[in-house]
Amino acid sequence: MAEAFSVTNDVIDPMLAEVVKGNQDKVVGWMKGEPGAWGFLAGQAVHTVRAHAGRSLADTERRLVWSRMWWWLEQVKAGVHGPR
């Protein structure tokens, strides 16, 4: 039997890291306050997690994804992760 997909930080962090790495131009745009950058990144985050889950996300799950995506962006902005 397949294991149920759970939207937790441990599960979604690798996915969100890929969203950040794959959309560096939008991340820079977000840091500069460019209109639409956050919406694009938030949408990509939800789309990616939804694709892995194989189902639509509940409202609380979407909010967790958005919150965690914002956290990732703040980490990048603060330079916490340094060079990769």
Over residues 31-81, the pLDDT tens digits come to: 999 999 999 999 999 999 999 999 999 999 999 999 999 999 999 999 954
Angle at the Cα of 57 from the Cα atoms of 56 and 61, rounded to 5 degrees = 175
Q: Which of 8-17, 22-31, 58-67, 75-84 has the lowest mean pLDDT?
A: 75-84
Return the pLDDT at 5: 76
Name the pLDDT band for 83 (thresholds 50, 70, 90): low
Return the pLDDT at 48: 97
